[in-house]
């Protein structure tokens, strides 16, 4: 018996869009890796900022905190680690396999200096949250205007 597969005319468009996004996510000094299938996967991030800190949230479900390394060099924050594949003892036929395994790495250049000794990271419910307090010199300061003594 032959199985029929529904053809989606837009699936190739989505694939091309994903390849273009990967192209622009790559640093300029590296050759883009559009066509090769790599063991590395791209870590999904949310980066927010307020007047006191940057907060980075990374999706790391199933990744042990011991398998993640966070480094800061100048203003470049790097998060790298590995999602270890579960070793299976019996052969299985997968119908769908979408979870990522292998190494991941993501670097972000912060626009201002942060206080490296006050950085905190927590991994809760598969979300790695990194708090990066801004250095005092870059925080906005309010300047009070003093009234003149002679009224003029």
pLDDT digits (tens, 9 = 90+) for 7-63: 666 656 666 766 776 666 655 444 444 444 445 667 889 999 999 999 999 999 888
Q: Give per-residue burial for 86-122: e unless 16+ CB within 10 Å, then b.
A: eeeeeeeeeeeeeebeeebebebebeeebeeeebeee
Q: What span, in angstroms and rounded, lies between the C-alpha atoms of 91 and 108?
A: 40
Q: Which domains does the chain have, with CATH numbers?
A: 38-85+100-136 (2.60.40.790)
pTM above 0.85, yes or no: no
pLDDT digits (tens, 9 = 90+) for 65-123: 999 999 999 899 999 998 887 777 677 887 887 777 888 899 999 999 999 999 999 99
Q: Give per-residue burial for 125-138: e unless 16+ CB within 10 Å, then b.
A: eeebebebbbeeee
């Amino acid at each position: 018996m032959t199985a029929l597969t529904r053809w989606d005319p837009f699936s190739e468009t989505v694939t091309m869009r994903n390849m273009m996004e990967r192209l622009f996510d790559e640093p300029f000094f590296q050759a883009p890796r559009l066509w090769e299938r790599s063991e590395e996967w791209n870590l999904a991030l949310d980066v927010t900022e307020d007047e006191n800190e940057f907060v980075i949230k990374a999706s790391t479900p199933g990744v042990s905190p011991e398998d993640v390394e966070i480094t800061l060099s100048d203003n470049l924050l790097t998060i790298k680690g590995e999602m270890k594949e579960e070793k299976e003892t019996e052969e299985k036929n997968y119908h769908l396999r979408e979870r990522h395994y292998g190494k991941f790495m993501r670097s972000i250049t912060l626009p201002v200096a942060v206080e490296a000794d006050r950085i905190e990271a927590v991994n809760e419910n598969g979300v790695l949250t990194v708090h990066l307090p801004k250095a005092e010199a870059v925080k906005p300061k309010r300047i009070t205007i003093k009234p003149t003594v002679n009224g003029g």
